[in-house]
Amino acid sequence: LGVAINWRNVWRTLQEVLTDCTKDNGWLHVSGAADRVVHYTLSQILYNMYEPPSDNELEVLYDIPDRGDQIKILWLQKAAIGFYTVKLKGTLIENTDEKYAMHMLDTAYIRTTHRRQGHGLSILTDLLQ
């Protein structure tokens, strides 16, 4: 089974979409359409098709982030290996009249090949900076 994405009239493999020679190592804010395609590829294609959620690990499918959510992607050696999303303080809580009283970590994902290497902990470090 092969998957490719047509981005700006060019077909790209998942590996091509998830690789960017301009990115430094670390957590970087999603800042444009290309970064959003990378996040979508990680959260909706790679995760769902190749690393599906495990009931034993209490994993679930990811929803598309809301427009006001903060998204960061973890880059390692020019490859996107994970992401996290944050609901920002003051954002309306869906289906209520209440707002988030503080920034809230909403979703987090690290590719299975990069787990157990401290990247999950690096989310907390990044959030506290």
Which tens digits make up the pLDDT trace of 71-114?
A: 999 999 999 999 999 999 999 998 999 999 999 999 999 999 99
Q: How confident is the model at residue 21 (pLDDT cuts 50, 70, 90)?
A: very high
Q: For residues 123 and 126, what is the distance between their CA atoms, to the nearest angstrom?
A: 5
39-66 residue pLDDT tens = 999 999 999 888 888 899 888 999 999 9
Nearest 10 degrees: Cα torsion 35, 40, 46, 51: 110
Q: What is the pLDDT of residue 90?
A: 95
- Using 50, 70 and 90 to split pLDDT, how confident is the model at 127? very high
* Domains identified in the chain and CATH numbers: 4-128 (3.40.630)
25-46 confidence digits (pLDDT tens): 999 999 999 999 999 999 999 9
Q: Which two tokens stand for residue 54?
A: 């495990």
- pLDDT-derived band of residue 5, with 50, 70 and 90 as boundaries? confident
How far apart are the C-alpha atoms of 37 and 43, rounded to whole Å?
10
